[in-house]
Structure 1
């Protein structure tokens, strides 16, 4: 069975090859320096309990990205810094994550934003019916696609590792 790490590594390598082969592409950037985009999504993840049993879970994901540099290494690249908050509801409890998030973005075609993100922050969980809870450091990393239907809003999909495995939703530029 192919692991999520192998899939992510393959996609990152493929994106790298596309960047290396298409440096002359002039795409309409989703991000310009100073642009802000907030996203709200629903998704799924896996939660492992203390006994090692895995449960599927519903994930509510809220992110914000602020573009610090719209032309990082060429006209189609961008660097963003923002934050991420995730609520994960699973059979028997909830977990959460909140922390800063950085992203590297590349625009291959107009209105399409491809990106890699990393978020590091506080992660916690609570088991229903008990006083058991935890708090510590957590992370979330992954890749995403965002298509801006209009300059003010778009749709996104992300696959990741850490807090959330899959998210889909809407993005709003302001």
Structure 2
């Protein structure tokens, strides 16, 4: 009987120790009101209609924390400016006409709203939306055979999720999934 009580005491002590270490580990929030985070990354795949990718998606963004302690000490909201770039090439073939080609440079400019939540130490997880526009520069080669050739650009909306892991308090690596300039982005973030 005494041995069971001792086991229960050890288990209770271990559980309290782990809970205390977890609470202590989460004392510093990774993103909050007033924080500024600059990020740059490179992506894989794109939702932009650019054909075969020539230049992979490149992303630059800057985020500002506007609301701190939304639900608790680990939740916040940020807004950011977003610039993305990707380039591609499309070819159209129609017998007996010549081949028609387009070289497309596509820029995505947008604003983002992001909800952040820190589940564990040093890891900033987030989700949000991007609203913006795609500006496309198209160079054409050959002759289009019927009406107007395809045009690009216009309004673009994106839903995304991501995470930043802070290697040191001011430097993080990040990964993001979405439907904007890239389906998957990897990069670095700097908190200033």
| TM exceeding 0.5 | yes
Alpha-carbon displacement from aligned partner over 1:121-146 (angstroms, at most 9, x marks no partner): 12122233369754421122211010
Structure 1: how far apart are the matches of 2:180 and 2:42?
16
State the TM-score, normalized to the length of structure 1: 0.75
Structure 2: how far apart are the matches of 1:107 and 1:158?
16
Q: Which residue of 2 aligns with 1:35?
A: 35
Structure 1: how far apart are the matches of 2:87 and 2:152?
15
Structure 2: how far apart are the matches of 1:155 and 1:55?
28
Which stretch of structure 1 is more off in the superposition, 121-130 or 77-86? 121-130
Structure 2: how far apart are the matches of 1:89 and 1:134?
12
Contact 2:85–2:181, Cα closer than 8 Å, also in 1: no
Q: Which residue of 2 aligns with 1:116?
A: 127
Q: Say which of 122, 141, 146 aligns to 2:159.
A: 141
Contact 1:32–1:70, Cα closer than 8 Å, also in 2: yes
Q: Say which of 38, 52, 56 aligns to 1:55.
A: 52
Provide structure 2 residue ranges, at least 5 long, that are not aligned to the other structure: 1-21, 90-102, 142-148
Larger CA Rg, structure 1 vs 2? 2
Structure 2: how far apart are the matches of 1:62 and 1:48?
20
State the TM-score, normalized to the length of structure 2: 0.69
Provide structure 1 residue ranges, at least 5 long, that are not aligned to the other structure: 1-24
